[in-house]
Amino acid sequence: MTEPTHVKDTTGPDIALCAHATLRRAMRVISQSYDAALKPAGLKATQFTVLAVIAGRDPMPMTRLAEILVMDRTTLTRNLKPLVAKGWTEIGRERDERVRLVSATGAGKAVVAEAIPLWRQAQGQVERRLGADRLSALLGGLRALTEDPRG
C-alpha cells in the first residue's frame, strides 16, 4: 500500500477522511439520540444493548457475554454494575467457582420489553434519515469493519 489517503498539508490529515474520527463522531451523535429515546425506560443505550442480549439467553459466563458483545471483559464487568444495582441483572455461580453466570431478572426482562418501543423510535428515525437500503449497507460495512479477519 503506497498512498492510502491524501494529506494535502503538513499540519495534519483531513479528519473527515479518518475512519476513527468519523466513527467516533457518528457514535456520539447516535448515542445521544438513542439515549434520549430510551430515557423514559431509565436505560442508557449501552445498557439496553447489554440487557437485551442477556434477556434473550440462558445465564452465561462473563467472558462469553463479552465475546457476544465484542466488548472488553473488564468493561463488561463495570457495565453490569448499574444493571445489577437496579435489580435488572443477576450474577450467579456454578460448580466452577471462577465463573460468574450473568442473567436477566424478571424486572430486567420487563424493562427490555418496555424499552423496545422506545428503541424502535430511535431506530426509525435513523431509518427515515438514511433510508432502509442505505442504513442496511452502512451497518453491513460496520460489521465488515468489526469482523475477525481470521474468523
Partner DNA sequence: AGCGAATAAGTGCATATGCACCTATTATGA
Partner DNA sequence: TCATAATAGGTGCATATGCACTTATTCGCT
Q: What are the grid coordinates assigned to 3, written together?
A: 498512498
Beta carbons within 8 Å of 61's beta carbon, 6+ residues apart: 99, 100, 101, 102
Residue 102's nearest CA partner among 63, 142, 75, 146 is: 63
Residue-wise burial string across 25-35, b where 16 or more C-beta atoms lie within 10 A, e elsewhere: eeeeeeeebbb
Binding mask 56-85 for its own copies (x = CB under 8 A): xx-----x--xxxxxxxx------------
Is 39 near its own copies (CB under 8 A)? no
Residue 52 C-beta: closest distance to its own copies, Å = 4
Binding mask 92-131 for DNA (x = CB under 7 A): ---xxxxxxx------------------------------
Give 112's Cβ-side CA count (13 Å radius).
21
Is 4 near its own copies (CB under 8 A)? yes
Is 3 near its own copies (CB under 8 A)? yes
Question: Residue numbers of the site for DNA (CB under 7 A)?
Answer: 1, 24, 27-29, 31-32, 35-36, 44, 46-47, 61-64, 71-75, 77-79, 81-82, 85, 91, 95-101
